[in-house]
Amino acid sequence: MVAHSVGIIAFQAGMGGRVIDTRPTEARRALGAIEATSRETLSGLRRMLGTLRRPVVLEPAPGLADLDRLAATAGAAGVRVEVRRLGEPRPLPGDIELSAFRIVQEALTNVVRHARTDRCRVTVGFGEADLSVEITDKGRGPGDGRAAGYGIVGMRERAALLGGELTAGARPGGGYRVTATLPVPAPVAAVR
């Protein structure tokens, strides 16, 4: 979460610096986004440090229900995110929910930082035996998948740990797509 927030802050600071003389209103908006994201991140760090100093009472891990909040964070950084849900949403194991959320989070961070676009789409598909997430944009950023960081590698590792797979790469006609498919185990029948 901290890395995501710092990425948003760095992007907004760079944008604000580029437009401060020519478009002061946009620069003010960027500063506002930096302030809001910084305060939210600091609040989260304070909660975490406070937790380390006393007995642990953990908040629930983020999941698919938190995607709209994540989209709003990206929106504050200048990228409008359309979230679509296909199929019948249902309760999923926590590790699948968390991994899907983190994959979307990392992909959105990459859109904000690299895609040079103002919109993208997140599609969550509830299949009979799997969960899929797809993040697409029509940006003009580096679309070769050879970024210097570990974001795509980390997303692939998350998917692989759950027996799933992840693909990421340039789209024909421009933009980028990240797709993950995570198998969902069949519910265990209740024992009487």
Express each pLDDT in 2-23 by its tens digit. Answer: 777 888 888 888 888 899 999 9
CA 80 to each of CA 54, 96, 104, 120: distance values in angstroms, whole numbers, following the listed order: 39, 25, 14, 6
Element (H, E) at 126: strand 119-126
d(CA 175, CA 139): 5
What's the average model confidence in pLDDT over 24-38?
Answer: 89
Q: What is the C-alpha separation between 128 and 183, in angstroms, rounded?
A: 9
User: Token pair of 59, please?
Assistant: 């908040």
pLDDT bin (cut points 50, 70, 90) of residue 192 is very low
Q: How far apart are CA 108 and CA 114, in angstroms?
A: 10
> Of all residues in the chain, what percent carry a pLDDT higher than 70?
89
CA angle 77, 137, 73 (to 5 degrees): 25
> Above 70 in pLDDT, residue 146?
no
**At residue 78, does pLDDT exceed 70?**
yes
For residues 149 and 114, the answer to whether their CB atoms sit within 8 Å is no
Please name the fold of domain 62-192.
Answer: Heat Shock Protein 90 (3.30.565)
